[in-house]
Structure 1
Amino acid sequence: MTAVDLFSSMFRLGPAGDVRAEERRMSPDLDGWTVMTLHVESDAEAHPESWEQHRDGEEVLCVLTGAVRIYFRAEDDPQDPDGELVARLTPGTAFVIPRGRWHRTTVEEPSDIMAFSRIAGTRMERRAGW
């Protein structure tokens, strides 16, 4: 047994209850549940230019330190430049992002976040004006 660096690794949760630690990567071939921990200093590290959508499952976004905001795009309005603020997350809080909802995250202060999601089927769409 060995300790795992949460910021350079990710966990893959298998259907039989198995867990594997792997080098962190974002790839459309990652089927099943993935758990990643990220340190974000600013909006630039949270992909402010894009909306994101997870078609294969909900996402749980947890804030360990710092503060972030989650925005949903107005339904069927890809030109919505800001979206609707739905949550401000601070240390020890989490939010379930519904399957298929376009969303984005902004960084209010440097943060450590942990995300549980199904990466396969994730779509990114550039925001209007970026």
Structure 2
Amino acid sequence: MTVTPIDLFASFLRLHQGEIHAGNRPLGSGQDGWQLSAFHAKTNADVHSDHWEVNPEAETVVSCLIGIIRLYLRPERPGQQEEEIRLTAGTAAIVPRGRGHRIELDTPSNIMTVTLPRGSRLEKRSEA
């Protein structure tokens, strides 16, 4: 078997039952398997900062590879503030299963996420 480099910024890695596959499209929300994604983000639009992402099936790892980002967690109860976690190059945070989260950029950044996309959804954020 030949081992070749994989461009993480051009591919999604799918991890499923002891196997890893590279592809150029993300797993659909109904498909099984974990997904590792890496991407360049230059603006907040690149990270859909105006939406909450919710992954009801599993935790999500959000990692800042290069740059500085702010990871926000949706309040657990009405009237609470968003929780802000500042991630710098080489740091990561684990978002609890089912907890809405979003990202804002302080600088253009390279970001990597790992999650089980089954059932994940985006919900428009209403300004507080």
TM-score over 0.5 for the pair: yes
> What residue in structure 1 maps to residue 87 of structure 2?
89
Secondary structure of the 1:37 match is strand
C-alpha distance in structure 2 between counterparts of 1:76 and 1:94, whole Å:
25
CA shift at 1:76, angstroms?
4.3
Q: Could you say if the C-alpha distance between residues 76 and 30 of structure 1 is closer, same or farther in structure 2, counting changes exceeding 3 Å?
A: farther
Letter in 1 for 2:89: P
Is contact 1:53–1:122 with CA below 8 Å preserved after alignment? yes
Q: CA deviation at 1:123?
A: 1.7
CA distance in 2, matches of 1:124, 1:76: 19
Which SS does the other structure have where 2:113 is aligned? Answer: strand
Q: 1:5 aligns with which of 4, 7, 10?
A: 7
Q: Which secondary structure state, in structure 2, belongs to the residue aligned with residue 25 of structure 1? A: coil
Counterpart secondary structure, 2:86: strand
Q: Which deviates more from structure 2 when the two are superposed, residues 48-57 or residues 23-32?
A: 23-32
Q: CA deviation at 1:84?
A: 2.5
| SS of residue paired to 1:19 | strand
Percentage identity across paired residues of the two chains? 38
Shift of 1:29: 2.8
Q: Mark the runs of 5 or more structure 2 residues left unpaired by the alignment.
A: none
Moved beyond 2 Å, runs of 4+ = 24-27
TM-score, normalised via structure 2 length: 0.89
User: Quick one: distance in 2 between partners of 1:23 and 1:116?
Assistant: 16
The CA RMSD measured in Å over matched residues stands at: 1.8
CA contact (8 A) 2:14 2:27 kept: no
**Does the Cα contact within 8 Å between 2:12 and 2:25 map onto a contact in 1?**
yes
User: For 1:10-65, what per-residue CA distance to the aligned partner results, in whole angstroms no more than 9, with x for missing partners?
Assistant: 110111x1111111336313321000101101111110221111011001111110
> How do residues 81-120 of structure 1 correspond to structure 2 at under 5 angstroms?
83-85=82-84, 87-120=85-118
Offset, 1:83? 2.4
Paired residues of 2:43 and 2:108 also in contact (CA < 8 A): yes
C-alpha distance in 1, partners of 2:96/2:58?
Answer: 8
* Conservation of the 8 A alpha-carbon contact between 1:51 and 1:126: yes
Letter in 1 for 2:59: E
Confirm or deny that 1:121 pairs with 2:123: no
Counterpart for residue 43 of structure 1: 44
Q: Is the 8 A contact 2:75 2:82 kept in 1?
A: yes
